Structure 1
Amino acid sequence: MMLTPAARDNVFSRREIEGMLADGRLITIVDGEVLKLDAWIKYHPGGDMAIKHMIGKDATDEVNAKPVSKCASLELAESRADGPISSPPIQGGVFRPYNKDEVEEDPYITELSSSEISAPPSPIFEPADDTLGLRRRLSVSTISSAVSVVPPATEEKPRGYVVDARTQEEIHLDASKYPSLDAEDQEYITKKYRELQKRIEAAGLYNCNYTAYAIEICRYTIFFSLFVFFLKRSHFCLSAFFLGCFWHQLVFSAHDAGHMGITHNYQIDTTIGMIIADYLGGLSLGWWKRSHNVHHIVTNAPEHDPDIELMPFFALSHRFFSSLRSTYYDRIMEYDAFARITVKYQHYLYYPILLFGRFNLYFLSWEHIIVGRGPKHGAGWWHRWFEFAGHIFFWIWFGYGVVWCSIPTWFDRVVFVLISHMVTSPLHVQITLSHYAMSTADLGPLESFPQKMLRTTMDVDCPKWLDFFHGGLQFQAIHHLYPRIPRHNLRRTQQFVREFCEDVKIPYAVFTFYDGNKEVIGRLADIARQARILEECRKACAADPYHMH
């Protein structure tokens, strides 16, 4: 990223940046440079949602971890920051307008109460109705001044929002298990994390193992050939099984391509990913990238991470009982009558629902393409139309050519579709396993990127010969730290990460596949138990309103 000498000499104070945020400007900090992204954001090929989560904060590690954010020219940067910035506006915050003649009297900018609001908050993701906006801002988990000097380590920074007892308990539990949130400790973790990245690069772990992909292609070919072989001989159940295996394995390579982990070239990897996901699998890579980029930045945040926003079927936190507003879907996730039934039994419904997860992905994929939520400008402008063609192609070869023309009866057609889709369900278990049992608490804006990723993500321990089955998803903690590392190198990277965790005293969560599933079911059961208790309390209050406390 190149800046002119004049731009490098221009240094913004924190107070000036706060004023820009109050004016609704899209400001973020990367490598000490102030980036004004108002004009550029629509060209970001990874979608605007991920970028908006980095507004108002130092996003150096988030951007460097997912360099798709840099793949378009960032020459809009105009200055350097005069210190760290924290807590993006999308996650709440109140910002004061800036008058260049004012005197900056405070050693650091503290949070403002609702009575001190002198101007509307940053409009990024804020509802038009200010009352609703204020209520949402008080309920989100990361609210502090968006522009602040780090306070002294001995002073506890006020969180500035209402925290229920259960949430506070989770925060205290995490705080007791992980390093202190004081500036010195978190800066040390960040320093060691960046040093680790250099070690990983020097070890060649960012280099793709193309021999491993040759083996992958052989495996895909075998599964597809068996699918066709048994289809031609009218063994429809066996044919459906091997088609499901083919789809299950393909997704891993689409995931690699979506993270630019194959050639590290945005257009080439995206094209590979769209051919695999859309043309062969009927799923939208564009939808997945838009959702997944956000997931990597706000992992396990109930209001923001679409991967855990599964109401009305699952609640990963008691906070979903209060009908949170999703910033990703831009709607209230209602804890309605249907949700009150399903959540109470979610630990029993977990596997049955995941059996049919692929059907929901079809819906989300078509919605993404039809509504046009992908990039409309810049390097990715043509992806929507390429994906649209891919979905037409998929439903012609699968829906018409296979299901309609090659299978004679409706009974066999239904069985074929159900088996082929249910065989892919281990993928949905693998995706959810690494996050559902982990923390959804927010420790505040001072928490470093690597600590947050390791706190909200776990790895799955498995023998090396089973790596093909998990497709790299068993190393999610490592993947969240360094998303561009090709999956065939993640096992080698694990030792580096273990050493890093021992050095900085961060627990490295790793479970066997069996134990990981027990953790997830246990977490779902715990939330279900809380849902039942809440329901009993509501019934008791309704039956005897005069004795309510």
Structure 2
Amino acid sequence: MPPRAKLEELVDGPKNFRRDDVIRTFEKKGNNQDPWYIVVDNKVYDVKDFVSDHPGGAVILTQIGKDSTDAFYNFHPDEAIETLANYYVGDLVQEDIITSKEGFTQELREYKDIFKKRNYFKSSKLYYAQKVIHNLIIWTISVTILAKFGDNLFGVLLSAAIMGLFWQQCGWLSHDFLHHQVFDNRKYNDLMGDFLGGVCQGFDPSWWKDKHNTHHAAPNVHGQDPDINTHPILTWSEHALFDIFDPKMAEINFNLFPRWIAKFMIKYQTLNYFPILCMARISWCIQSILFVLPNGQNGKPANARIPISLTEQLSLGIHYIWYFYIFSFISSWELAFIFFITSQAICGLLLALVFALNHNGMKVLTEEEAQEMDFFTKQVITGRNVIASNPKLQFIVDWFCGGLNYQIEHHIFPTLPRHVFHKVQPIVQTLCEKYEIPYHRTTFIEGTKEVFNRLGQVSTASRKLI
């Protein structure tokens, strides 16, 4: 049943809304004095009272004032509409209803139905079982080398490099499970996420979901996407430059970094790029630990905080128990330090190289631009697919990137198992070409050059701004 407030609101029946009424809640940034409207299938819902109970956490805040139809169905099972119905407040007026049966969005919706009939959304459990086994073999090789050769530098470095690769591959697998690509029962996916993400990799699943789901809802949207909110460490757009150097924003922007450090980081960010990537895993591990602590989400609105399960906390604890236990195989503290730094740096580099190719250097949108753009177009124009320069070596790119080299297809169909991406990719590309929507594919090296070029452009712009 709807909450009491909703029942009282609906005594006289649902209201009719103009689309502008919904958009105004976006313009007010969803403050606590106003309703927080979203639109799904031309029906209006006030989700303000639902945010604290939303399993996905604060990501729902990115949808306030928007038509969230495609975002809703891409991230939720069909039965979730029953939960959303509790917050129904009315319908769009007839003249504002979108009834078009043509266009890019409509064709993608139809293809999604076709893919479901072809069972593309049914994962191969054998495929994922062998992926998990292969990852555990990588871990075993790393630990075995460390146990046998933990008294010499080469053995420690080799073991650390393999451990970094293990963590990277666990990242891709936990990504798949936490996107609910594998099991129909979401609890099983979450448990595997706790194991692969928590126990194996050391990343808290709730921290990851909060960050990653928000990225999916608002990819490359300045002020919303946490994956590009990395300034001044790495600054990806001129929008961020104005935030950093605006004197009125100084109190907000320079709590952690003095202005001179921010200017230095931006000015030389192409030189700092690879060293920063090497530090990425350590940063994410610290963020994960802080997130699960009792006060770890104090920076979030009270109704947008995610409850942390005991299973998640235990999974992180177990990770650090086994990780620091294997240090006992190392003969000296100097070699132990080398193992720690090398394993963390290799993993950070291997993860971040792929992450950067997914979206960095692609178009960055303002919140206003994103507001006017349909969900699917936004996913396409901000994403970059990665292909092998030699088609015969595509399987290596697929393995190394964990399927995220099909970034555009993944963003359009986030619950689609990675072993099906190659089947839908030509269809999506053809559809984009039909509607003249930019669809970008490039090689690993060329994509990395594009990322560097974008960093360089922002550095040049910062010098002019200074």
Query: What is the TM-score when the length of structure 1 is the normalising length?
Result: 0.72
Q: Is 1:81 equivalent to 2:91 in the alignment? A: yes
One-letter amino acid matched to 2:312: E
Query: Of the candidates 273, 280, 300, which is equivalent to residue 357 of structure 1?
Result: 280
In 1, Cα distance between equivalents of 2:365 and 2:39: 25
Give me the identity figure in percent: 26
* 1:116-174, Cα deviation, whole Å (9 max, x unpaired): xxxxxxxxxxxxxxxxxxxxxxxxxxxxxxxxx59xxxxxxxxxxxxxxxxxxxxxxxx
Query: Of 73, 76, 82, which residue of structure 2 is paired with 1:64?
Result: 73
Which residue of structure 2 lines up, in the alignment, with residue 14 of structure 1?
Answer: 18
User: 2:239 — aligned with what?
Assistant: 319
Corresponding residue of 2:357 = 433
Please list, as runs of the form range in 1=range in 2, the aligned pairs for 1:152-191 lying within 5 A after superposition: 188-191=103-106
Give structure 2 stretches of 5+ with no counterpart. Answer: 150-154, 246-250
- Aligned partner of 1:498 in structure 2 is 429
| Cα distance change on mapping 1:244 and 1:193 into 2, 3 Å | same
Give yes or no for contact 2:370–2:378 (8 Å, CA) kept in 1: no
Q: CA deviation at 1:199?
A: 2.1
- Which of 293, 296, 314 pairs up with 1:389? 314
**Equivalent of 2:439, from 508, 524, 540?**
508
Q: CA deviation at 1:185?
A: 9.7
The corresponding residue for 1:118 is none
Pairwise mapping of residues 34-49 of structure 1 onto structure 2 (< 5 A)? 34-47=44-57, 49=58
**What one-letter code is carried by the residue in structure 2 that aligns with 1:41?**
V
1:522 is aligned, of 437, 453, 457, to 453
Matched, 1:24 2:28: no
What is the TM-score of this pair, normalised by structure 2?
0.84
1:233 counterpart letter in structure 2: K
Distance (Å, rounded) in 1 between the aligned partners of 2:450 and 2:22: 42
Letter in 1 for 2:278: L
* Cα shift at 1:423: 2.1
Number of residue equivalences: 430
The alpha carbon displacement at 1:333 in A equals 3.4
Letter in 2 for 1:364: Q
1:295 alignment partner in structure 2: 215
Kept in 2: contact 1:461–1:474 (CA 8 A): yes
**For 1:43-91, what per-residue CA distance to the aligned partner results, in whole angstroms no more than 9, with x for missing partners?**
11111x211111122100111111179748223133442259xxxxxxx
Amino acid at match of 2:75: K
Which letter maps to 1:231? L
Measured on the aligned residues, the alpha-carbon RMSD in Å equals 3.2
Q: What's the counterpart of residue 461 of structure 1?
A: 387
Classify 1:83/1:305 alpha carbon distance in 2 versus 1 (closer, same or farther; 3 Å). farther
How far, CA to CA, are the matches of 1:30 and 1:38 in structure 2? Answer: 15
SS of the equivalent of 2:459 reads helix
Find the residue that maps to 2:317 and give its secondary structure: helix
Q: 1:461 to 1:375 in 2, by over 3 A?
A: farther
For each residue in 1:272-328, what CA deviation from the matched residue of structure 2 results, as whole angstroms up to 9, or x when unmatched?
101111111111111110011111111111211110011221110112222269xxx
- 1:483 aligned to 409, 414, 431, which one? 414
Give the letter aligned to residue 465 of structure 1.
F
The offset of 1:458, in angstroms, is 1.1
The superposition leaves residues 236-263 of structure 1 with CA deviations (integer Å, 9 ceiling, x where unpaired) of 2222122112111111111011111111
Give the drift of 1:489: 1.1
In structure 1, C-alpha distance between the alignment counterparts of 2:76 and 2:144, rounded to whole Å: 42
Point out where structure 1 has 5 or more consecutive residues left out of the alignment: 85-106, 108-148, 151-182, 326-330, 536-549
CA distance in 1 between counterparts of 2:99 and 2:23 reads 28
Cα distance, 1:411 vs structure 2: 0.9
Which digits, 9 at most, give the CA deviation of each residue in 1:196-248, with x for residues without a partner? 21122222211112222132123213211211211111222222122112111
